[in-house]
Amino acid sequence: MGVQDGATGPAAGLLRMAMEQAFNAVMITDAQPGPQGPRIVYANPALCQMTGYSEAELIGQTPRILQGPLTSPEVIQTLRECLQTQRFFRGSTVNYRKDGSPYVVEWNISPVKDEQGVVTHYVSVQQDISAVTGAWATSELLAKALDAAQDAVMIANAQGEIEFVNQGFEQITGFSRVEALGQSPTILKSGEHTEAFYARLWQAIQSGQTFRAVFINRHKQGHLIHCEETVSPIRGPDGTITHFVSLIRDQTARARTEQTLREQATRDALTDLLNRRAGEWALERAFLSAREGHKRFCVILTDIDHFKRINDTWGHPVGDQVLQRVATVLRAGVRATDSVVRWGGEEFLLVLPYCEAAAAQLQAERLRARLAEVDHAEVGRVTVSMGVAELRPHETLASLIERVDQALYSAKHAGRNQISLG
């Protein structure tokens, strides 16, 4: 089958000339499954030059003729799955020339459908990227050395597409080679850094400088990983930046140790509840646990009604006693898995993992009623207003806190000593 089959006129001639003169290698196969997969029906001169095979030697063969010991089974499996589901494929692996020498190929495959929508062929556009990936692709020793390294190595091209990762990258991030290749390094983005942070990174490496920092990345499973990372630009023969190499060292264990030390001093001195910083850690842990396990998660924000009046009328020592009394009731009225936080001033945040909105509302109502029953010796009856909110699918933690804050505002605006659901 020639590339002009099924087409006539000047357009067909132009198409053939374009294919014959194309810089990139082009292969067309049929869509017959067969025991060995589709068969090659067209190969342009660039493909023949890249592989060392003549067109006659390729026609009728399967693309497996180009595979060998270092060809990635994972990449080939992903390719097959894409073809079976009629999806576009893009990937990179090691192929072999006719003389047995390996080369690194980057290629994409698109299905071709007839007028009835039936896939009849696949067109593959390929490029030999050995000159870019050079040493690690052709030197078995260097490849083994990189894979033996516990630190992660990631190489991305100037367009921000990942072209190489080692086993250390897979172990630290949870992403396999197949999942990472062709993706952007933003697959690790956690949302913990500001846009200004990434702007500084980009400005440094674009100007040819090395950028070093501790990155808070996100593991494939969703949890945070603290990484000491160095990003350096790689220049081509003409001085143009062609790639960026990242060396990544996992510092999560050290970060957790530091976190433990911080938590030893994270109690509020007055109420013995978690202080704001510890509360934020508890919030994040509950949030990530809920998201990873697809579990329910609620928060209750509590505010003492007319607290400023209490301080102004009876003084701050009495106000402190009221805060302690409210803290005691809240702490005694929650589960062992819940967290009670002195969120700020007269505000308290209750973190309720594995809890849905209806249960959280009942919990809030019980606490509100219990607090309203207690008479302070000097102040008398002290009431609280409460906002309740449950984490929604795909919602951020910041959005959840904003909603519960608005719910609390609604409860106070409606007359206080009541509960509002956000």
With a cut of 70, say whether residue 134 has pLDDT above it: no
How distant, in Å, are the alpha carbons of 27, 258, 259, 306 from that of 265?
A: 65, 12, 10, 30
Indicate which residue of 346, 347, 373, 402 is catalytic. 346
For residue range 148-197, list pLDDT tens digits in order.
677 899 999 999 999 989 889 999 999 998 999 999 999 999 999 999 99
Query: What class, spelled out in words, does domain 10-128 have in CATH?
Result: alpha beta
Bridge-based pairing state of the strands 419-421 and 384-390: parallel
Q: Answer yes or no: CATH 3.30.70.270 is held by domain 265-421.
A: yes
- Res 69: pLDDT: 84
For residue range 307-357, list pLDDT tens digits in order.
999 999 999 999 999 999 999 999 999 999 999 999 999 999 999 999 999
- Token pair of 304 as six digits: 């003492």
In sequence order, which residues have a C-beta less than 8 Å from that of residue 336 and are 6 or more positions away? none
SS (H, E, C) 230-297: EEEEEECCCCCEEEEEEEEEECHHHHHHHHHHHHCCCECCCCCCECHHHHHHHHHHHHHHHHHHCCCE
- Token pair of 300 as six digits: 């209750």
Angle between helices 307-314 and 316-332 (to 10 degrees): 140
- Res 46: pLDDT: 92
What residues does each domain of the chain span? Answer: 10-128, 134-254, 265-421
Name the percent of the chain lying above pLDDT 90: 57
Superfamily per CATH, domain 134-254 = PAS domain (3.30.450.20)
| Geometric angle at alpha carbon 410, from 408 and 416, rounded to 5° | 75
- 138, with CB counted inside 10 A (0-12, 13-18, 19+), is middle
Phi and psi, residue 2, nearest 5°: -95, 165
- Res 96: pLDDT: 93
Q: CA–CA separation, 261 vs 258, rounded Å?
A: 5
In sequence order, which residues have a C-beta less than 8 Å from that of residue 123 and are 6 or more positions away? 26, 27, 28, 109, 110, 112
Q: CA–CA separation, 56 vs 40, rounded Å?
A: 10
- Token pair of 296 as six digits: 């329910």
With a cut of 50, say whether residue 222 has pLDDT above it: yes
Q: Is 346 labeled as catalytic in the residue annotation? A: yes
Half-sphere exposure of 83 (CA within 13 A, CB side): 21
What pTM was computed for the model? Answer: 0.41
pLDDT tier, 9 (very low <50, low <70, confident <90, very high otherwise): low
With a cut of 80, say whether residue 299 has pLDDT above it: yes
Q: What is the CA radius of gyration of the chain?
A: 31
Q: CA–CA separation, 299 vs 391, rounded Å?
A: 8
User: Do 134-254 and 265-421 agree at the fold level?
Assistant: no
For residue range 99-115, list pLDDT tens digits in order.
988 888 888 999 999 88
- Res 37: pLDDT: 75
